[in-house]
Every structure is written in C-alpha cells, then in structure tokens.
Structure 1
Amino acid sequence: MYRINDISIEKDLIDRLLGCGTLVIADATEKPGMLLDDVPRVDTVHRTIQQLLWEQDDGTDDGELPPGEPPRGRRR
C-alpha cells in the first residue's frame, strides 16, 4: 500500500449498467498502472482503498509509512 501513488476508476456505458468498472492503480515507477477489470462495485472499492491509504499517511511530504517504519509525531 505504501507504494501506491494514484488510484482511479474507469467506467464505460456497459460497466455502468452492470455496476462494475476498471480500477487503475499506479505507483511512482515508469511502468504503466495495474488495471483490474470488471471490479464489482468499483466505486466502493475505490473509496475503501483511498481511505486505507489516507489512514497510512504519516502527515509528511514523503508519503505513507513504509512497512516497519515507526510512526512519527504529527505536526500541529
């Protein structure tokens, strides 16, 4: 989770009718983002992943906490 840089969704007309969509997950590398096609309730999944990313954010400009890194004090 700490490597995710961007997350977005794509839905065409058929996806909207079926209640699914494509989840696009990207990190800061040169590689294209990972596409997860036909994700049911993609809006809910997108919102949940964003919430998980936000909860892992340590409040600094360098992004989320890498695994095993101790939490830092929040700036006020």
Structure 2
Amino acid sequence: MAYPDDLLSDDEQVVVHKHPHWKMLFFPVIVLLVVVGGGIYLATLVQETEWRTVGQIAIAVVGGILLIWFTFAPFVRWRTTHFVVTTHRLMVREGVLKRTGIDLPMSKINSVRSNQSLSDRLFGCGTLVVESASDEPLEFDDIPKVEHVRTVLYRETNDDPNDDFAPKQAR
C-alpha cells in the first residue's frame, strides 16, 4: 500500500494528498547550481598547482557537505511532508528521522480559511488556516492550490450525514 493508504480505516478514502509547493525547493536548486559551478571553477584553478590532489579533495568534501546540507536535506524534507484530506480527517505528517503528525477529525473542524501573499498567488499556493476545538488555529504553509484544498476541506466538513446541521438533499 502507498502512503497514506496504510493509515486509513476501512471506510475512509483519500480526497486530497499534497506535498508542500515546489517553491520550497527554489533556493536549494540555486545552491546546487552555485556549488556545482563554483566547484568546477575552483577545480580548474587548482588544476595548475602542485597541491592539485589535496585541493580537489577539499573542494569535493566542502561541496558535498554543502549539497547534502542545503540541497539534499530540504528535498527529503519536502518529499516526506504530506498534507492529506480524507473523508474522515485531516492528516499532516512531516519529518525524516523524527516523524511528527497531526490527525484532526472532520467533526472537530470549526472553520477553514486561506491566506495568499502576492508571491503565493503567482506560484498558486498559500497558507491554510484550520480552526478547531483547540485554542490555537493550525496553520499549514505552502499548500499547492490552497483555494481548491480549502473548498474540498469545507465540503468534507459540512457533508457529514450524521450531522444534524448538514444540508439535507432534495428527494
């Protein structure tokens, strides 16, 4: 089973499954290009010196550490962050070594709203704010197509057939 299918109950279905918006990877890609370009440039500079081998090893080690820290780690963090709306709950899972998660039943969600800055609107993402029975609203940043997710989440919270206040369907 694929994630999050192994976490679902028998009658639960995934409605929306998203990772954070790809804009989170913009600066890691810039770092990748700068480190690779800078490493190639520095390697050509030390090619003509007598300490060429030591210089190339030092450049490779420093470049490798920078790439792991500033490119590979953010990519893995992005890939292992899941925002999932099911027919019964809202689930958020994030982390690689230390995994954290939030499960919020649909019946506990009071309101859903979204915020988008100008850059968020250009990229097609935004912040989703979910108010529940808890004191603090939950904010989820960089949700792709946040308006669609907000609409789906609102629809799922209000389409509960066991809810006395849900709109009745015409017969």
Flag whether TM exceeds 0.5 (same fold): yes
TM-score by length of 1: 0.72
The one of 7, 11, 18 equivalent to 2:112 is 7
Matched residue SS, 1:15? helix
Give the C-alpha shift of residue 29 in structure 1.
Answer: 2.5
State the superposition RMSD in angstroms: 1.7
The one of 26, 41, 45 equivalent to 2:145 is 41
In structure 2, distance between residues paired with 1:45 and 1:35? 13
The one of 133, 145, 158 equivalent to 1:28 is 133
Give the C-alpha shift of residue 56 in structure 1.
Answer: 1.1
Please list every run of at least 4 consecutive aligned residues from structure 1 whose deviation after the TM superposition is greater than 2 angstroms.
none
| Identity across matched positions, percent | 33
The structure that has the greater radius of gyration is: 2
Give the C-alpha shift of residue 28 in structure 1.
Answer: 2.6
Give the C-alpha shift of residue 19 in structure 1.
Answer: 0.3
Q: Does 1:50 align with 2:149?
A: no
Higher relative contact order, structure no. (Cα contacts within 8 Å, ≥ 6 residues apart)? 1
Query: How far does the alpha carbon of each residue in 1:25-72 deviate from its partner, in whole angstroms, 9 at most, with x for none?
Result: 011332x11111000000100000111111016234xxx8xxxxxxxx
Give the C-alpha shift of residue 16 in structure 1.
Answer: 0.4
TM-score by length of 2: 0.33
Structure 1 spans left out of the alignment, 5+ residues? 65-73
In structure 2, distance between residues paired with 1:54 and 1:3? 11
* Residue-pair matches, total: 61
In structure 2, distance between residues paired with 1:34 and 1:54? 19
